[in-house]
Amino acid sequence: MKTWLISLLAMLSLLATGCSKQEEQTMEQTQALNNIAEQYVKLILDVGHHHPYYIDAYYGPEKWKDESTKKPLDELLIRNHDLVNQLAATQVDASQALRKQFLDIQLKSVDTFIRLQQGEKILFDDESLGLYDALSPTITEQELDAALAELSLLIPGEGELNQRLNTYKSQFVIPLDKLDTVFNAAIDEARKRTKAHIDLPENESFTIEYVTDKVWSGYNWYKGNNFSLIQLNTDFPIYIERAIDLASHEGYPGHHVFNSQMEQHLVDKMGWIEYSIYPLYSPMSLLAEGSANYGIEVAFPKDERLAFEKEVLFPLAGLDATQVNTYYQVQDKLALLSYADNMIAKRYLDGDIDKEAAIDLLMKYALSSQEKSTQRIGFIEAHRAYVINYNLGQDLVKQYVDRVTGEDDLDKRWAIFADLLAYPKTASMMAE
């Protein structure tokens, strides 16, 4: 059944059987939000004509997409302001409060995005707060230097740490002819673990493609009806730990599950059409990327991950499984450097350093090769403040789940995590 009919049929049913004043009021509020939601979806479709990546997924009415055209940015900005005002004037009860709040935050991010497309210069912190409802913490080079010093003790050899690390990691590259086998084993295990805790639709599925010439390492293209296309970029070596990372992040319980849960619970069941479109540069992405990263440790607690790597993935890749524990000690230290991306992106995009200096800083603090660092700058140029969604998003989701769970109970952790995927919250909503 068409999702836009769900709320209408529910209202007609209540009218036919008789309903209380409170029920009538709730119906009126629902209809008002549905009208704003429809205008919101059509607005996002129109804004999408101004940027090739803005609409990451859409599975609403095809007619709306077909009717969408490229309109002047000034006109779109006015429409967005009108929707913000309409929403503010719409009174809702407690059952509709979260829906209204999420729509309001999403709409306000559209304002920032349109102004960026108009060429307005917006500082990194203002952009991240405007687009993603979150502000990355300040990190200093002194803090990163301390993490480098700890890491240096674990990496053998002499010379620059960047070169030593890449030499060390070269023994953990998945051979290309074994990549598909290793990745499928990882994603099958991730799916099995996720299905044990989250009720996935029977028809959910995905296809894997291996691609080149991209600024990202992996991408999930959600197509609707519980189907995803997962692409892995083979431009650079894929290290063994990335098998579980990518399988969980792009697939289970990451992007594929996140989008499927929203479609199942909010679009199909509730008729909330605003969730049928996913604007990439919006607060939804902080939760999407953050939950996808945090979902790795939910699906694979550390001891279980090490055991699976040692017993299954290392042998499938033809790698020395006796090195698992040492290798993951290195990975733990590398995690201390995760906010270097945000610091470097902020300095570069705010004009404090040039491209060459940004690449040098990535080589020093992200410990990537010059070629890989150049690719990363390409990602930052293309997606700007989006980089905060991975590390900050992961930390905010973890803090939220830890706070709500209140104890070290894996089943409860899964339950809270699954609820967050099915009923999304932005950064500020998670902080409440």
Chain segment 236-272, per-residue pLDDT in tens: 999 999 999 999 999 999 999 999 999 999 999 999 9
Compute how many other C-beta atoms are within 10 angstroms of the C-beta atom of residue 84.
Answer: 17
Q: How far apart are CA 172 and CA 327, in angstroms?
A: 9
For residues 145 and 107, membership in a common domain is answered with no
Domain range for 95 = 4-120
**How many domains, in total, are found in the chain?**
2
Same domain? For 91 and 183 the reply is no
Give yes or no: residues 343 and 394 share one domain: yes
Q: Assess whether 313 and 353 both reside in one domain.
A: yes
Do 221 and 108 reside in the same domain of the chain? no
Strand partners, 278: 57
Is the same domain home to 268 and 368?
yes
Q: What is the pLDDT of residues 119-138, one digit of tens each?
A: 999 999 999 999 999 999 99
∠ at Cα 230 (227, 232), nearest 5°? 175
DSSP E strand stretches across 175-247: 205-211, 218-224, 227-233
Supply the pLDDT for residue 4.
47
Residues 378 and 416 in one domain: yes
Residue 289 lies in a domain: yes
Rounded to the nearest 10 degrees, how much is the dihedral formed by the CA atoms of 244, 313, 206, 249? 0
Could you tell me if 211 and 108 lie in one domain?
A: no
Instruction: Give the model's confidence band at 2: pLDDT under 50 very low, under 70 low, under 90 confident, else very high.
Output: low
Confidence bin at 202 (pLDDT 50/70/90): very high
Report if residue 32 sits inside a domain. yes
If one counts every other C-beta atom within 10 angstroms of the C-beta of residue 29, the result is 18
What's the pLDDT tens digit per position in 359-398? 999 999 999 999 999 999 999 999 999 999 999 999 999 9
User: Do 285 and 325 belong together in one domain?
Assistant: yes
Of 120, 153, 183, the residue that ends a domain is 120
Same domain, 216 and 342: yes
Last residue of a domain, one of 65, 89, 120: 120
The verdict on 244 and 346 lying in the same domain is yes
Using DSSP, state whether 201 is helix, strand or coil. Answer: coil
pLDDT digits (tens, 9 = 90+) for 327-345: 999 999 999 999 999 999 9
Q: Please indicate, yes or no, if residue 125 is contained in any of the structural domains.
A: no
Tell me whether residue 128 is in a domain. no
